[in-house]
Amino acid sequence: MTPGKLAIVVPCYNEQEVLPQSLPVLQKVLQQLIDKQLVKDDSKIVFVDDGSTDTTWSLIEQASHLNQDVAGVKLSRNFGHQGALLAGLSVVADADLTITIDSDLQDDPTAMIAMVEKYHEGNEVVYGVRNNRDSDSSFKRTTAELFYKIMGFLGVNLVPDSADFRLLSQRATRVLLSYPEKNLFLRGLVPLVGFKSDKVYYRRHERAAGTSKYPLYKMLHFAIDGITSFSVAPIKLIMSLGLLIVGISLLLLIYTIIQKMRGDVVSGWSSLMVSIWALGGIQLICISVIGEYVGKIFNEVKGRPRFTIEKNLYNKTKNEQGENDD
């Protein structure tokens, strides 16, 4: 396979502390790929500023003016990590292959060399997979394992320990961009693309600088998005729970009638109150789960753009309005 043009898409949100460190590292790896003749010399690193409120965009703009291998894309506001990734992919859709990687250097940039080699072996999707979770807390390791088990139980095809560090061929990128949903969960969408795929294992590191943009509440929201975007199993579980409660109620009704006939009547204020509170809580949970799906339908039918590009230094001739459903 002949060398192709590579675009390395790097989503950024308030990363002014880490960008000066990550840029030279990414440039070094890109130059190694060019020297090995694995990619063309017009390959680029494309930083996507997801509505940062610090000097992130200024740093990107400055780097793009000083380096021919660096370009930038600025979104009009914060659209979230997944929206920024999709915006970057839409801008570089002309590239023969694309690699997405976060700017914090937790994902090992040197693994990109092995990814491109896998691409030259005929793979159109190459997943970066962590070979350890030593850098995570015990709580995060446990919850991550639980998340993948739940997703597997619900029938969602995910690559365990693989986040958004991956390589996509041009064809795979265009197929991914053709998916119109607004509720983005790329870890679940990419396996749906199909095509020949492989994995590259790497050791994940601590953040080079700055703070994580995924605190606990965002991780929980991300997990709920993943589950509700790809499976209706929770709604089916609610139905099963409802039937179970009805069955228990019938048994209790029969038991109460029998006790009444035997004259063994005991006042049950406590048990009654517990039952009311328990059933009330279950009902609220069920309504919330159903509401989550209704909310997703609400967001989908509005048809709003998944991102809006304010500035495009990668290809200034492109329409700077986010290609709605690209």
Domain boundaries, the chain: 6-213+305-312, 232-302
Residue 130 to residue 102: CA distance in whole angstroms: 14
pTM score, whole prediction: 0.67
- Arithmetic mean of pLDDT over the chain: 77
Tens digits of per-residue pLDDT, 112-136? 999 999 999 989 999 988 887 665 5
- Please give the CATH number for the structural domain made up of 6-213+305-312: 3.90.550.10
Tens digits of per-residue pLDDT, 225-262? 655 565 556 666 766 676 677 667 667 667 666 766 77
Comparing 31-40, 276-285, 305-314, the range with the smallest average pLDDT is 276-285
Q: Alpha helix locations (H) across the chain? A: 19-35, 56-66, 81-91, 111-120, 138-153, 170-177, 186-193, 216-230, 233-262, 269-302
Question: Closest by alpha carbon to 61, among 23, 104, 108, 102?
Answer: 23
DSSP 187: H
**145 vs 10, higher pLDDT:** 10
The separation between CA 111 and the C-alpha centre of its own chain, rounded to angstroms, equals: 20
Residue 288 to residue 150: CA distance in whole angstroms: 19
